[in-house]
Chain A
Amino acid sequence: MRRTSLCASRCSLCGVLWESRLSCSGGKGDRETSRLPQYETIMASKLAKPSLLKNVVNRGYAAQAAAQQSYNLPTQDVKVTTLPTGAVVASLENNAPVSRVAVLFKAGSRYETAPNKGAAHVLRTSVGLGTKDVSAFAITRNIQQAGGSLTAESGREHVMYSLDMTRNNLDSSLEVLASVATQPSFKPWELADNLKRIKIELAMRDPSTLALELLHGAAFRNSGLGNSIFVPDYQLGKLSQGVMGDFVASTHLASRMAVVGLGVDHEGLVSYAKSLGVGSGDGVPTVGAYGTQQILGIGPSTKYGGNASSVLAKAVASSGGLGSASAININYSDSGLFGYFIMADSASVDKVIDAVHSAVKGLKVTEADVARGKKMAKAAIHMATESGAEHLEDMGLQALLTGTYANPSAAAAAIDGVTASSVQSAVSKVMGGKLSMGAIGSLSAVPYIDQL
């Protein structure tokens, strides 16, 4: 019954949107989402039994509405609190009818070690399985009955459990969220049943996702960021209850946690975060806090999207080969990848790669390019806060990785500081560094990295 939705729709925006985020962006494969089924209409019919009284009340409201009352809701800013345990709580009261709450931990694939490789993927797909105090059935049914949605999402650095729920049903569902996020039990038979779902997810990965996985493996090698966000084949079914329990115990700690909310009371969220039964300590070593320079890095990447007038598209057109290219910029808390992503006909792929590589290498950044890039980047930052789910994720990742929240206006203001020369030096610095390549498909014509 559980569905897994790959977040393809959001990623079509990735050339623009994802760079404004703090975590790994850059491709369909960089986050995967597991989702509980949405509200089912069969149950709705059971809930909404019509009664005479209800009709009367409804009419009453209708009469009131005709009176044209207007309300002035106070606009509020994001509030951030750091608990003594190290957990960060951030919330924004946006007066929306749907509240969203997310619990994040630094428990992505980069914190896996050789024996538990793939644990982050299994963790993400295990959302909705029974916990120590709630059964799988009760989790699904409670959330469904209240009309909400519970999602787990993980990237290379984080795992995020989020709950979307109407305001008046939030309290009871928060208990379920707490249990799912902090008390997973990984019952062996449920893990075994879940294997099918993991296999389907693995089979549904598209080539671009696999190419990015290979690129990470090549660029970061044995450091944690080289770990795939998917479980390797040899680990399927081997990640037992004990291994998963240890992974959770070493990563789901108060010092590595962030709790964020949209449309919730900040004081309430703080006490909720305090009530979560997570351990203390540091767990698996984490990397240092993230600076603000990644926001500057957004400049170069947005300029060369897949659109016809971009530098990369022109390079592909002039190469005489068939294909398309886009720029990628993937940021992590201590590192990142910048470069280009090419899809091309296998016969002419060498021409396309040569043309694009020399276009990026010999790039001359003009003031007009930078001005355009800045506008697109600012628009992207503000657009990201339009959707509740993305805003929540943005808040969560910033709270988790930096411990603070830079609101969109501040981030947009930081972009104003970017100049053509700073972009030029960033590009030449990156292209002068060591190159990595990941490739998948028919590779006979693909050049080796030292031939570029």
Chain B
Amino acid sequence: MAAAATKSVGFLGQLSNSMKRFVFRMSGYNQYGLFHDDCLYENDDVKEALRRLPQNLKDDRHYRMHRAIHLSMTKTVLPKDEWFSYEEDHTKGRYLQPYLQEVITERKEREEWNKK
């Protein structure tokens, strides 16, 4: 019984993993040399997280954005060997998440206090 359960989780895990890869390929931001966190909608949380980002990471982000805008203007994409892979996107591409999570936690804490 337990073995069957494990197997079924594994199957679902595989399915969701391949779905994620599929969505990643279809969205195509990696072809412009962008990471996941470069494409976030800049709401107040993200703006505050960006403010807290260390300067070197901020510079890298600006470089990638400049490159992407340039590629978009010239209607090309990067050569295929320079595309970020799915794994790279998940390791390096979530550079903003720790800061963003902290900002969101702080905002929720404020909201919780203001309810009282």
Known contacts A135-B106, A135-B109; is A46 also within 8 Å of B51 by CB? Answer: no
4 tightest CB-CB pairs across the interface, nearest first?
A: A189-B52, A135-B106, A141-B113, A137-B110
From 42 to 68 in chain B, residues with beta carbon under 8 angstroms from any chain A beta carbon are 51-52, 54
16 A-B contacts (beta carbon < 8 Å): A46-B116, A135-B105, A135-B106, A135-B109, A137-B106, A137-B109, A137-B110, A137-B113, A138-B109, A138-B113, A141-B113, A187-B52, A188-B52, A188-B54, A189-B51, A189-B52
From 322 to 358 in chain A, residues with beta carbon under 8 angstroms from any chain B beta carbon are none
From 71 to 110 in chain B, residues with beta carbon under 8 angstroms from any chain A beta carbon are 105-106, 109-110
> Whose C-beta in chain A lies nearest to the C-beta of B52?
A189
A residues near B113, Cβ cutoff 8 Å: 137-138, 141
A residues near B110, Cβ cutoff 8 Å: 137
From 19 to 47 in chain A, residues with beta carbon under 8 angstroms from any chain B beta carbon are 46
B residues near A141, Cβ cutoff 8 Å: 113
B residues near A135, Cβ cutoff 8 Å: 105-106, 109
B residues near A138, Cβ cutoff 8 Å: 109, 113
B residues near A187, Cβ cutoff 8 Å: 52
How many residue pairs at the A-B interface have CB separations less than 8 Å?
16
A245 to chain B, nearest CB (A): 16
> Whose C-beta in chain A lies nearest to the C-beta of B116?
A46
Q: Mark A129-141, 1 if CB is under 8 A from B, else 0.
A: 0000001011001
A residues near B52, Cβ cutoff 8 Å: 187-189
A141 to B113, CA, bound (A): 8
A residues near B106, Cβ cutoff 8 Å: 135, 137
> Whose C-beta in chain A lies nearest to the C-beta of B51?
A189
Contact residue range for chain B? under 10
Tell me the interface secondary structure of chain B in the complex.
helix
> Whose C-beta in chain A lies nearest to the C-beta of B49?
A189
From 180 to 217 in chain A, residues with beta carbon under 8 angstroms from any chain B beta carbon are 187-189
A residues near B109, Cβ cutoff 8 Å: 135, 137-138
Q: Mark A155-193, 1 if CB is under 8 A from B, else 0.
A: 000000000000000000000000000000001110000
> Whose C-beta in chain B lies nearest to the C-beta of A43?
B116
> Whose C-beta in chain B lies nearest to the C-beta of A130?
B106
A434 to chain B, nearest CB (A): 48
A residues near B54, Cβ cutoff 8 Å: 188
> Whose C-beta in chain A lies nearest to the C-beta of B53?
A189
A141 to B110, CA, bound (A): 9
B37 to chain A, nearest CB (A): 17
A138 to B113, CA, bound (A): 9
A24 to B54, CA, bound (A): 39
> Whose C-beta in chain B lies nearest to the C-beta of A142?
B113
A137 to B112, CA, bound (A): 12
> Whose C-beta in chain A lies nearest to the C-beta of B54?
A188
B50 to chain A, nearest CB (A): 11
A314 to B46, CA, bound (A): 67
A304 to B84, CA, bound (A): 77
A241 to chain B, nearest CB (A): 10
B108 to chain A, nearest CB (A): 11
> Whose C-beta in chain B lies nearest to the C-beta of A135?
B106
A85 to chain B, nearest CB (A): 33
A124 to chain B, nearest CB (A): 23
A157 to B113, CA, bound (A): 38
A398 to chain B, nearest CB (A): 39
A449 to B57, CA, bound (A): 54
A46 to B114, CA, bound (A): 10
B residues near A46, Cβ cutoff 8 Å: 116
> Whose C-beta in chain A lies nearest to the C-beta of B105?
A135
A residues near B116, Cβ cutoff 8 Å: 46
Question: Told that A135-B105, A138-B109 touch, could you supply 10 new A-B pairs with CB distance under 8 A?
Answer: A46-B116, A135-B106, A135-B109, A137-B106, A137-B109, A137-B113, A138-B113, A188-B52, A188-B54, A189-B52
B28 to chain A, nearest CB (A): 33
A188 to B57, CA, bound (A): 14
> Whose C-beta in chain A lies nearest to the C-beta of B48?
A189
A238 to chain B, nearest CB (A): 14
A137 to B51, CA, bound (A): 18
B residues near A188, Cβ cutoff 8 Å: 52, 54
> Whose C-beta in chain A lies nearest to the C-beta of B107?
A137
A138 to B107, CA, bound (A): 11
A375 to B109, CA, bound (A): 55
A213 to B105, CA, bound (A): 43
A377 to B105, CA, bound (A): 54
Which of A46, A188, A189 is most buried by chain B, counting CB atoms within 10 A of its CB?
A189
A189 to B52, CA, bound (A): 6
A46 to B105, CA, bound (A): 24
A401 to B106, CA, bound (A): 39
